[in-house]
Structures are given as structure tokens and as C-alpha cells.
Amino acid sequence: MKTKHYIYQKGHHIVTPLAVGSEANFEAIATGHSPLRQYRQQWDIPEPFFAALFPVETFHETSLQQYTRFENIAIQAAEGAIQRAGIDASNPRVLFVISTTKGNVEALENEKAQPANQAYLWHSAQLITSHFGNHNTPIVVSNACISGCAAQITAFNMLQYSDLYDYVVVIGAEVLSRFIIAGFQSFKALSPERCKPFDKNRCGLNLGEAAAAIVYARCEDETQIPDQGIVMTAGAINNDANHISGPSRTGEGLKRSINKVTENFDTKQIAFINAHGTATLYNDDMESIALQRCGLQHIPVNSLKGYYGHTLGAAGVMEVILSSIALQKQMVIKSLGTEEPGTAQPLNVCMENTSAHGNAFLKLISGFGGSNAALLFTLKHASL
Amino acid sequence: MTEQSFNTLIKCEITASTAKVNGQTILQRTDASEDWFSQLYHAIGMQYPKFFKMDRLCKAGILGAELLLKDFDYDRENVKADWGIILMNSASSLDNDRHFQETIATDNYYPSPAVFVYTLANIVTGEIAIRHKTGGESSFYVMPSFDEQLMNTLVNQAYMANPELTHIICGWVNVDGEEVDVRMKVVER
């Protein structure tokens, strides 16, 4: 029988168009701020769109000039997280797991003029880890919208079930481009104004840029977890086997993921659920059905998409960090953009910042390819 | 290093000119004028009209899965939560991304949703999950080259993390311009 480890967050960092730093981002959204706005003629895209893009100043740091925008923000996020964790990232016992959907896809605009392999995700990942002097081959997780959560599950499994690493640095990053915006526009998936997660009048999502990183560590003894530490208790991925771009009508895959991570766990301890809540008609209905089928529809639920938009490969990492801070502060952040909840099954959508009661939160995420993930995090109290 | 906790039941390989099952060549490309994936589709008697809508990465993956499972005795009617998929490659969906990029040129801007949907690497896992009704773990990784040891580590970990999993369809599915490199297997706990 193998030793069970506790997998906990040792440090994290967020870089968004709104703020730099995990706490700074949390404070900004807790006071209702959002970087979402309308862009016209951006990247010569004919139709205007509502999104959150990094200002050019984000990329001014002179020591990172040789990197693309994507690599640049990924490095910034990782640097902050590594610094807070106080680890030596060049140590061979440190693994990097990088979540993104499109990386440097903008390199395809003139691929032959770019340095070799610039559009390849593994290549970007290697540049990022080389920046930290780490020689392990980074693992890139590219699982559409669930990538950020899938990367944390990979990190969890690496620490829990193998003795190869002591720390895993999970980075989730995404920059937008003409490619991504044009694609989502062709899908008719974008809202012309701020998205309205779980609202009865929701009409699509907003896209956003962000980078976030978490250093996961492990220990065998619970007393080694720092007070107020956030422990990743379980994670699960299930496929709907239903449709490549449309959510399941029954929420079956998400339901199975939720049931799996809450198995043997007293769900009364769950303070809130941070859902995917993209504000597309079908996603939000699907989540409501899955939660109802799991008997968790009464638990306060929020979506952070109304603040940052859908940040694709960064979403799962960034939203876990912000929810972890919320859990530490025992509060639930309101679901910005929601005016009148209206989903296939009623949900307890958090409409105002409120106090939270419980020592756990559940993170949900679903995406193209029929994938669904659920993650369960718990708060370590001094009394334990 | 963790002990391997699974057995390989069947393996397949597809290159730009050969298809093999368990090391045995089952089709060799002879006619360069005919699309290789369509040739293989017909040769193995596959009947799945959706195939023709897919991008080349999905076609490669779905053909690989078909080679593995066409004669396999398993439940074809219901979604199987005890079956998972773990795939990796090096080009993610770049082969199709280049195609989508052509549809958004400044002088010829006509982004197609039918092309855009395949601009995600893990759509191939979704297509295989739909075809073979696998409802468990589904993961896609991008690495510089096929690292079978890492693949086996990830499969081992998936088994340890998911006690309900019995079978995993796993391997390498890379399509990048002229290059076709499929090395897949079905493993059982």
C-alpha cells in the first residue's frame, strides 16, 4: 500500500488585464471591477467584440523581450508563483505542466517568417521551462476549455502516484488573436456585451486573456500543510461521448465527475461551487442539470466569466486560485453579469458577495471534445 | 518507478503509407492519387459517414481506434464509464489550424465554424469517445516526440486515480503536413 500524500498549493500568482498578483486580482473582483470592454478593428477583425485584452505595457519588461506574448505572460505568472512558493524551479524534482489551448497560434499568420517551431506548444513550453533553468520536458495539457483543471489533475497524479517530483508548477495561459476571435465569432458563440452567466437572457460568452500559475507540493503528514493552506483533495475527468462541440443534454459526464470527487465527502462542507458558467445557453443549462442530478443545486454557485471572460487554457488555473482565496476569506464572490438567474434547473446563483460557510469548494469545468472535470479543494484549519 | 499495472491487448500503427495491427501490415498505400485515409477507411470496411467531415488529425485517430476495436468484444450500445482515452502528439491541431488560418486572410475573410471546431487538439479524443462510447477519463497532451515511458506513467496514474477504469485507448496521434504517425494501443488493467 502506497503512502497517501496531501497535495497542497504552495504559492500562486495571477496576471490579468485587470491586475498583477493573486491578491490584487481578488481584491479587484471583490470590489466589482472587470477589464471587459468592447474592441473595434482590433487585429483588423471586421466585427467588434467584447473581451479583456492585456494592455501593451504588460509586455514591456525588458528581460522578457525575446519571448512571444504567450510565453511572456506564462513566465510572469510562473515567476510570481515560484517566488511565493520559495522553491528552486531548476531542481530536477520540479516538473512544469502547462495548460493552453492555442499557445502562439498567431505565429501561423506568417509561419515561415517566424523562428522554427514557434507555433508548436511543446516548443513554447520548453522556452518557458528553460527560462527557469528546468531541464525536465514540460508536459503540455491541451484539453480545450478544461485544460487548466486537467493540468492540475495531471499535477495531482504525478505527486500522488509517482515518486518522480516534489513540486509541480502548473501554468495556465492564453492570449487572444485574430484566429481565436474569428473562430468564436464564426461559431456565433460571443455575446456583444458583458456575458451573463446563468441568466435567463444569457446570449453567449466573452473571451479574455490571462495567465495564472500554482506550485503544488506534497506531504505525508497533515501537520506539514501550512495553516489556511488549500489542499487539492480530488479531481476527475469524464467524457460525455455525445458531441464534439455541444454540451450534453443530460450533464452525464459532469455528473459523474462531481460524484467521483465528492464520494466519501460530506457535501455539507462545500461552501460554494465555482462553475464554468460561460454564459452560453447550453453550457449553463448543462451545469444546472448536472448539479441538480447530484443533489447540489442548493449550494451557492458562481461564475467568474463576467469579470474576465472565458480565458480558455488559463481559466481552470486562475479560477481555482481566486476561489481558493475566497475560501480562505470565507466568502463567495458574486456572479458578475447575472441579473435574473434562469437555467434548465434552478441554481442558487450568488448575486452579491456573501460570507461562505464551509471548508471546501468545488470547481467545475467543461469543454469542446465532450470533456468535463470536477475538482475538490479543502481548507486546512489551525485546529486540525 | 511505478510498476506497470496494465496489459496491452492490441496495438496499431499508421504512417503515410502503411497500416499495421500488432506489427502485421494490413494495408500498404499503392495509389498515391487516392486519399490515404479514405483508402484505409474503405479497406477496413468502416461505415461512419461522419468520418468525411473530420479534419486529418481526427481521421487518423478514428482510423487508429477502428483498427484496434473493430473486432473487439465490448459494449457498443451504452456509454462506458470504465473506458478512457489518453492521447498525445507534437503538432496539436496545427495541421487544421493552418487550414483555418487561410479562411481568415485579410483579402479573403470567411471563417468557417466547420473548420474552427477542429482547431483543438483534443477533438480527436472526443470523436473517438463518441464512436466507441467511452465515458471515462479523456486527456490530450502535447510533447516534442513520443515518449512511451511517459505515456505508460500517465496510464498507470489514470488507473490508480480512477479505480473504475478497466480499458484505456492510448498512444500517439500526430498529423503534420505530410507526416502521419499513429501509434495506438488498447490496454486493460
Q: Mean of the per-residue pLDDT values for chain B?
A: 96
pLDDT tens readout for residues A8-63: 999 999 999 999 999 999 999 999 999 999 999 999 999 999 999 999 999 998 89
- In whole angstroms, give the CA distance from residue A14 to residue A12: 7
Q: Which of A294, A178, A173, A286 is nearest to B104 (CA)?
A: A178
Q: Mean of the per-residue pLDDT values for chain A?
A: 96
pLDDT at A73 over 60: yes
Mean pLDDT, residues B23-51 taken together: 95
- In whole angstroms, give the CA distance from residue A271 to residue A300: 7
User: Is the CB of A120 less than 8 angstroms away from the CB of B94?
Assistant: yes
pLDDT at B64 over 90: yes
User: Is the CB of B126 less than 8 angstroms away from the CB of A120?
Assistant: no
Fold entry, domain B7-188: Peroxisomal Thiolase; Chain A, domain 1 (3.40.47)
Q: Which of A264, A262, A260, A285 is nearest to A273 (CA)?
A: A262
- In whole angstroms, give the CA distance from residue B178 to residue A195: 42
**A109 vs B contacts (CB less than 8 Å):** 101
A240 — contact with chain B (CB < 8 Å)?
Answer: yes
pLDDT at A338 over 60: yes
User: Is the CB of B162 less than 8 angstroms away from the CB of A158?
Assistant: no
Q: Which of B79, B176, B86 is nearest to B132 (CA)?
A: B79
pLDDT at B4 over 80: no
- In whole angstroms, give the CA distance from residue A56 to residue A75: 16
Quick one: cell of A100? 493552453
Instruction: Read off the DSSP letter of residue A349.
Output: B
User: Is the CB of A241 less than 8 angstroms away from the CB of B154?
Assistant: no
pLDDT tens readout for residues B151-162: 999 999 999 999
CA–CA min distance A221, chain B (Å): 20
**B132 vs A contacts (CB less than 8 Å):** 241
Sign of CA dihedral A317, B155, A293, A249: positive
Q: How many residues does chain A have?
A: 384
Closest residue on chain B to A157 (Cα): B157
CA–CA min distance B80, chain A (Å): 9
In order of start, what are the domains of chain A with their CATH numbers? 6-219 (3.40.47.10), 227-379 (3.40.47.10)
CA–CA min distance B91, chain A (Å): 6
Residue with cell string 480499458: B167
Taking CB atoms and an 8 Å cut-off, how many pairs form between chains A and B? 177
A140 — contact with chain B (CB < 8 Å)?
Answer: yes
pLDDT of B1: 46
pLDDT at A1 over 50: no
Mean pLDDT, residues A52-78 taken together: 95
Percent of chain A residues topping a pLDDT of 70: 99
CA–CA min distance B28, chain A (Å): 30
pLDDT at A368 over 50: yes
More confident residue, A47 or A1: A47
pLDDT of B3: 66
Least confident of A1-15, A209-223, A260-274, A275-289: A1-15
Mean pLDDT, residues A150-158 taken together: 98
pLDDT at A158 over 70: yes
CA A187 → CA A191, A280, B95, B117, distances in Å?
A: 11, 12, 20, 8
pLDDT tens readout for residues A234-250: 999 999 999 998 899 99
A143 — contact with chain B (CB < 8 Å)?
Answer: yes
User: Is the CB of B129 less than 8 angstroms away from the CB of A239?
Assistant: yes
pLDDT tens readout for residues A195-233: 999 999 999 999 999 999 999 999 999 999 999 999 999
Residue with cell string 471546431: B117
What values do phi and psi take at A175, rounded to 5? Answer: -115, 150
Please report which confidence band the pLDDT of residue A384 belongs to, taking 50, 70 and 90 as the band edges: very low
Sign of CA dihedral B17, A140, A94, A381: negative
Please report which confidence band the pLDDT of residue A330 belongs to, taking 50, 70 and 90 as the band edges: very high
Mean pLDDT, residues A341-353 taken together: 98
Q: Are A235 and A373 in contact (CB under 8 A)?
A: yes
pLDDT at A383 over 60: no
Tell me the Cα Rg of chain A: 19
Q: Which of A142, A160, A186 sits opposite B142 (nearest CB)?
A: A142
A297 — contact with chain B (CB < 8 Å)?
Answer: no
Q: Which of A371, A301, A312 is nearest to A153 (CA)?
A: A371
Quick one: cell of A32? 466589482
Q: Which of B91, B46, B83, B90 is nearest to B64 (CA)?
A: B46
Q: Residues 92 to 111 of A: which have CB under 8 A from any B CB?
A: 101-103, 105, 108-109, 111
